[in-house]
Structure 1
């Protein structure tokens, strides 16, 4: 396992690191670029990463999904008769930009670097995820985040949310499965966005190919930069397509006028 992070300053260098990480996921180290004097909690929630770099990653995901994976998903939906549940005339902005990035990152990716805390963060976050943004669920998520913050400020040790040494070694040895398993679960969860109708099982993975790729990028970013970075990119990624839909509905209320 590598001892120190490579000196990566360009998007191209980060992209190469992402490809290598997907092939051989590893628990450590983080990419360089922390704020001077910051502790592990600050590095996790407040990563030193520019908005411009985050936008470049969002643009990469949008392009790949629009040009390659999106058409495959649409073709699979057409063959299987699946229909998207999203009501494009009532776009859930707050849910897409704030709620989903926070809750889904807590459930699917926070525990990648905090495996001991995953034992309580994942089930509690899953309750909030499947409950939706009700007041009770919002309070539950706020409590989860505050507890994660508080535990991150404690000295290293079991009470601060660290695994015993032998369990930590076993987790690191199986991190490949933890990482890719979280990506597959994240993608599979988005099947709920569809009314599947008579879609055969073998077509279902194709419906969520965009979420699978996005989950890998978010997982890499969570491990290498921090949970704050993955939450921010998650929100940016969700916002782009919804903004396009909103603009079309606002300025082209009748798409048939454009021959669509």
Structure 2
């Protein structure tokens, strides 16, 4: 049973602003995802193929729309293939961490005060560990690579999601619809799955969307410092790190192009999260929840 209350319509200017923000973010993310998925068909060159005779060709050169890097590799091809790695790691890691954190929060929210207190104190302990140091330690144990990025993102995201969802769950457990379901004989499992979970799912999705933006940047940062995705796999972070080495030689575009891509994708996910949050907020819905 999901609480259904009358909703007031969103005002015209507010609706248009939210719609424009969501559409812009959705289109940008959709384009990036599609071109990354179809990189094998869209990339004009092999992203790993080197050509020393064609290194540092500027953007707009014949046959190389975005130019080439210090090894003569086509930047457009590497950018398209790099999106498959960077987005996949960020999105799947955040999704997995969000599920794990939400389950822990739901169980803690419906458990007794002793159990919920233990769970949340463990979450507080996770906040005390700097995620960069955790990533460095993981790289020393597992060796640098994609698994380090995945584990580091999960380690970073789970406590935040658990804390946010736990707060939402505790608020909903005191709502009238939960009390009514309890009076009708609903079990604790039914209250979690049928009553509370549908009402907090929207907030979970909104929060996770914003986290993806941060994790896209974080994933690229780990690759840029050498403990994330390793060569020769194309990755936006690697491209930034490689380009940074030749910026002073006058080839700024080698680092600027992947850097701007990371910024735009992160902004798009932030716009999407902000737009969804505004539309889901009680003030704009007018339902008082």
- TM-score, length-scaled by structure 1: 0.30
- If asked which structure has higher relative contact order (CA below 8 Å, sep 6+), I would say 1
Determine which structure has more spread, i.e. the larger CA radius of gyration: 2
- TM-score, length-scaled by structure 2: 0.28
